[in-house]
Every structure is written in structure tokens, then in C-alpha cells.
Amino acid sequence: MDENKPPVRFMPAYFITGGANGTKGIMKCASPSGWNGGDVTKVDLTFNGVDYTDASYQFSFYSYYGSFPKSGPFDGLTQYIQVRGKGFADEMNILCVLNGNEMAPISI
């Protein structure tokens, strides 16, 4: 396999919402297997298998190994939650959600 040109993989995508009145539509698909945390690839969308989007969106894979502590009481404000994984990057805009509150990580 050429590392600069990963193999093409086709994954079914599903329409979620949007796309009316000039809004952006949202599509959802599963990520293919065989990628590791830290891998980056380009994603295009096609409706007919011939014509593709011009955008070539960049997609970054990450691996989640676990977190500590496993359970609480835990508020995330006065204590820390450690999330372990591979492929996390500052530009990913990672957020944790605790009790409906979004919290930015202290460090990545």
C-alpha cells in the first residue's frame, strides 16, 4: 500500500438533517476499520458513485483506550478525569460532556 495514497473505501452514508433553504446538510457514516489513532484521510461524498464532492474533507481517526475514574460522584470541576487514547490533537476541538455541561480539556 502506498502510504501517501490510502486505499479507497466506500461506506454507506445516511442523511440526518438540513440542506433546505441554503443550510448545510448533515450526513452520517461509520468509519471503516483498519485505521489507527493519529491516521488522517480525506472524505468525499457521492450520491451516484461517479460524481464526488469537491471538498475532500479531512478526517482524523483517534483511539479511545479508557478513562479514570470509571464512576463517581464526580463533577469535573474540582477533580480531574483522565481520558487515555491515541490520535487526539489540539485542532480537533475536543470537548467532554458531564451532566450536560461541555468542558474543554486541560491538556491533550
Among 68, 63, 64, smallest CA distance to 80 is for: 68
Cα–Cα distance, 82 to 69 (Å, whole number): 7
pLDDT in tens, 84-101: 888 887 777 777 777 777
Rounded to whole angstroms, what are the CA distances from 39 to 5, 20, 35, 58, 97?
A: 12, 33, 6, 11, 25
Give the CA count within 13 Å in the CB-facing half-sphere of 47: 2
pLDDT in tens, 44-83: 888 888 888 887 777 778 888 888 877 766 665 677 788 8
pLDDT in tens, 9-53: 788 888 777 766 666 777 778 777 777 777 877 888 888 888 888
Domain ranges across the chain? 13-60, 63-103
How confident is the model at residue 85, as a pLDDT?
Answer: 85
